[in-house]
Structure formats: C-alpha cells, structure tokens
C-alpha cells in the first residue's frame, strides 16, 4: 500500500515564520491529490516535506506503513517531477531516463526494458537519442515524467509541472498526466496555483490558505458546496459573486427570504439567469462590460447601477449594450450564505 498520511504537520522557518500550520491529510492508495492555493499558501512547502526536501518542524508524515520524518529523500521510494524539468543537458533522453536506475544498480536489461516501456507510453520513442535542447517544452516534460515512471515509485510528486508551457500545451499535457496516472494507479500529489487545472485533475482537491487546509474533498463537492468564503471565491472561473449583506438589505437586490444579521451572499455566474421574473434572488444590474468567449458570454454589471460588480454567464452571443438595465435571478438552491465574522458557510 502507498497511502500518504500527514498528521498535524508543521513547518516553522528561522525567525518564527510558520509556513505550514498543523496540516492533517490522508491520501488513499492510488489517489490523485491536488494541492491548490495562492502563492505563499504553503502548498509547495508541504509537498517538499513529503519528498524530504524540507525538514518537518512538527507532526508526522507516513508513506505506506512507515513514518518518514527522518528518512532521506532517496530512501522514501518517491519520484518527483519539477516545474523546470531538471534534465541533464549533456545526456540523451535515454540516458536521462535511465540515470536514476543506473545509480541504484538496476540490471542493464531491466533498465532498457523500463526506459523503452516508459518512452512508448509517453510517445517519446523517436527522441531517445536526442539531447534535451533538441526537444520542445512538452517533450521535455514528457521525458521528466518518464524519468519518474521508470523508478516505479510508491508516490509521484508533481511541483507545478506545467507552469512553463503555453496554454494549448498545458491542456494537452493535463489530459496526458491524468490518463497516465489512471493507467499506473500510483498515489500522486500534485501542486498547482491554477484552480481549473486542479479541478480537472484531482480525485481529492485540497484548497490551502495561509498554511492551512481550508477544505478538502471531491472537486465537485468544493465547487457546489464551498465551506468558506475563501474556497467560494477561489474555486470557479469566473469566480463566485460574493456580496456583503447588511441586515437592512442592499439597493438593487431582493431576497424572497430576508437574511437575519450581516452575512455574505454567494451565487455563481452560471446560476444567474436574465429574466424580468422574480426569483429567490433578484438583482437589478446596469451593464458595464460584455465578453463573448465562444459558446458562452459574460455580462458584467453594476448592482443597482452603481454598486459592486456582478458577473452573469449566459449561453450564446446575444449580448446587451453597455448601459442597459437588466434583471438577473437565481433559485434558492443555488444561493450560498457565509458568516461575515468567521467566513464559514451557514446554509
């Protein structure tokens, strides 16, 4: 078994800076876990502690049935794929992929079998004799992944591996990584700041903020039922509309059931419909900007003509003119309420 268990893991740097604050997390055998959050939230530090590249200040990290706090990185049976590929420029693709196995004393015929099998899976067989400088960015990342695959580790660790690729190639490689992980069924931990990348890859999605786990679970659960204001605003593109609601109400906005006390109301752009009818939520907008992005469009409007900006996502390209007054409505099941004091979900 190659499950990963983190129990109250902390990282404190000299000077008392606490980068990771007591994170507890269980990643099941064969699961693809994605750590996502803004820069400085502690996600890469947490990954590096699992890898053994950072010492653990408190708590325990276990891989399988073994605690690895004091185990050297080379002895943890993990393989890591970095953002910058980390290939040896003077070696061929074949030698880059074989290097780790040679250092471990793996028999030559077994090295050849593993390298060629990984090259076939990753479709880099025609490039085995080339040097990294003769490859595209996507091909280099495939080689870096191949170097990890041939190790046959208990755990794969990915540290923002697609950040250096262009948008089209990132989408392609994202699909390839997911297919590869499914085929190999190897426990994987993947770090990214891109919430769309996180949503599409993860079996378990972990949203981090200020060194702590805000929420962990299936991606669709975090999308449909965010437990904090931070998760609600971070997951989703475009982001959820969040409005502070004083007890006295907001001009241009009406609720079928008035809220008791100051709360933050959330509604996703796709759950707002343009309609003159009343709904559980009705918002009167003045259009300030429009974006046609293909099969759908985004309408940006000022609440009540001068209030906070609201985003409405609609199908098609029948767009209103700037300055038009519109009403957007939403159903009660699509409304989210959070405590303004604690940031925690209320409904």
Q: What is the pLDDT of residues 275-287, one digit of tens each?
A: 877 778 999 999 9
Residue 263 belongs to domain spanning:
238-339
Asked if residue 151 belongs to a domain, the reply is yes
Average pLDDT of 179-193? 91
Last residue of a domain, one of 183, 203, 227: 227
CATH number of the domain within which 251 lies:
2.40.50.140
Is 83 in the same domain as 212?
yes
Asked if residue 232 belongs to a domain, the reply is no
Is 263 in the same domain as 320?
yes
Confidence of residue 261 (pLDDT cuts 50, 70, 90): confident
CA 94, CA 135: separation in Å to the nearest integer? 13
Q: Could you give the C-alpha distances from 214 to 182, 220, 231, in angstroms and in order?
A: 27, 15, 7
Which ranges constitute the DSSP H helices of 74-217? 93-103, 108-122, 137-149, 167-184, 195-201
Answer for the pair 180, 190: CB distance below 8 angstroms, yes or no. Answer: no
Last residue of a domain, one of 177, 201, 227: 227
Over residues 67-80, the pLDDT tens digits come to 999 999 989 999 99
What are the DSSP E strand ranges found in the chain? 4-13, 17-27, 32-36, 58-63, 66-67, 78-81, 155-159, 187-192, 204-209, 212-217, 241-245, 253-255, 263-267, 273-274, 281-292, 296-303, 309-315, 325-330, 336-339
Last residue of a domain, one of 174, 203, 227: 227
Residues contacting residue 19 through CB under 8 Å, at least 6 positions apart: 11, 12, 13, 42, 45, 211
Asked if residue 345 belongs to a domain, the reply is no
Is 142 in the same domain as 222?
yes
pLDDT computed for residue 98 by the predictor: 94
Over residues 307-330, the pLDDT tens digits come to 789 999 998 877 889 999 999 999
Confidence of residue 192 (pLDDT cuts 50, 70, 90): very high
pLDDT computed for residue 234 by the predictor: 94
Is 136 in the same domain as 192?
yes
Average pLDDT of 187-193? 95
Asked if residue 346 belongs to a domain, the reply is no
Is 19 in the same domain as 140?
yes
Is 208 in the same domain as 318?
no
Residue 30 pLDDT greater than 70, yes or no: yes
Is 204 in the same domain as 324?
no
Pull the structure tokens for residue 72: 């050297």
Tally of domains in the chain: 2
Pull the structure tokens for residue 257: 């059931």
Cα end-to-end distance, the chain, whole Å: 38
The larger pLDDT score, comparing residue 92 to residue 172, is at: 92
Pull the structure tokens for residue 41: 């939230």
Asked if residue 280 belongs to a domain, the reply is yes
3-state secondary structure string across 143-177: HHHHHHHCCCCCEEEEECCCCCCCHHHHHHHHHHH
pLDDT computed for residue 202 by the predictor: 95
Asked if residue 347 belongs to a domain, the reply is no
Is 34 in the same domain as 82?
yes
Is 118 in the same domain as 223?
yes
pTM: 0.90
Of 84-98, 250-264, 332-346, minimum mean pLDDT range: 250-264
Asked if residue 244 belongs to a domain, the reply is yes
pLDDT computed for residue 247 by the predictor: 64
Is 275 in the same domain as 137?
no
Per the prediction, the chain carries an average pLDDT of 91
Confidence of residue 248 (pLDDT cuts 50, 70, 90): low
- How would you class 229 by CB atoms within 10 Å of its CB: exposed for 0-12, middle for 13-18, buried for 19 or more? buried
Asked if residue 250 belongs to a domain, the reply is yes
pLDDT computed for residue 111 by the predictor: 93
Is 64 in the same domain as 205?
yes
CATH number of the domain within which 164 lies:
3.40.50.300
pLDDT computed for residue 69 by the predictor: 96
Is 169 in the same domain as 265?
no
| Gyration radius from the chain CA atoms | 24
Answer for the pair 31, 216: CB distance below 8 angstroms, yes or no. Answer: no
Answer for the pair 145, 68: CB distance below 8 angstroms, yes or no. Answer: no
């Amino acid at each position: 078994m190659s499950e990963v268990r983190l129990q109250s893991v902390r990282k404190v740097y000299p000077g008392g800076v606490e980068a990771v604050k007591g994170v507890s997390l269980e990643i099941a055998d064969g699961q693809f876990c994605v750590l996502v959050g803004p820069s400085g939230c502690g996600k890469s530090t947490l990954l590096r502690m699992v890898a053994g590249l950072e010492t653990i200040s408190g708590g325990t990290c276990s891989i399988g049935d073994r605690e690895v706090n004091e185990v050297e990185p080379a002895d943890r049976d993990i393989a890591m794929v970095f953002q910058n590929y980390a290939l040896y420029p003077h070696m061929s693709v074949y030698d880059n992929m074989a290097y780790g196995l040679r250092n471990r004393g793996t028999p030559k015929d077994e090295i050849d079998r593993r390298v060629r099998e990984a090259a076939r899976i990753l479709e880099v067989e025609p490039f085995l004799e080339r040097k990294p400088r003769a490859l595209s960015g996507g091909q280099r990342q495939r080689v870096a992944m191949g170097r990890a695959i041939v190790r046959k580790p208990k755990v794969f660790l990915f540290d923002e591996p697609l950040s250096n690729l262009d948008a089209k190639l990132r989408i392609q490689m994202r699909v390839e990584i997911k297919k590869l992980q499914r085929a190999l069924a190897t426990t994987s931990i993947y770090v990214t700041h891109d919430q769309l990348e996180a949503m599409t890859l993860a079996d378990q999605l972990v949203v981090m903020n200020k060194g702590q786990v805000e929420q962990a679970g299936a991606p669709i659960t975090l999308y449909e039922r965010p437990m904090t204001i931070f998760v609600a605003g971070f997951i989703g593109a475009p982001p959820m509309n969040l409005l502070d609601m004083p007890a006295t109400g907001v001009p241009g906005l009406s609720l079928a059931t008035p809220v008791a006390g100051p709360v933050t109301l959330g509604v996703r752009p796709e759950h707002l419909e343009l309609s003159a009818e009343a709904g559980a939520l009705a918002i009167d907008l003045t259009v300030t900007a429009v974006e046609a992005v293909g099969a759908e469009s985004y309408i940006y409007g000022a609440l009540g003509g001068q209030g906070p900006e609201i985003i409405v996502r609609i199908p098609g390209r029948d767009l209103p003119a700037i300055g038009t007054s519109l009403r957007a409505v939403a159903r009660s099941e699509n409304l989210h309420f959070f405590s303004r004091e604690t940031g925690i979900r209320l409904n």
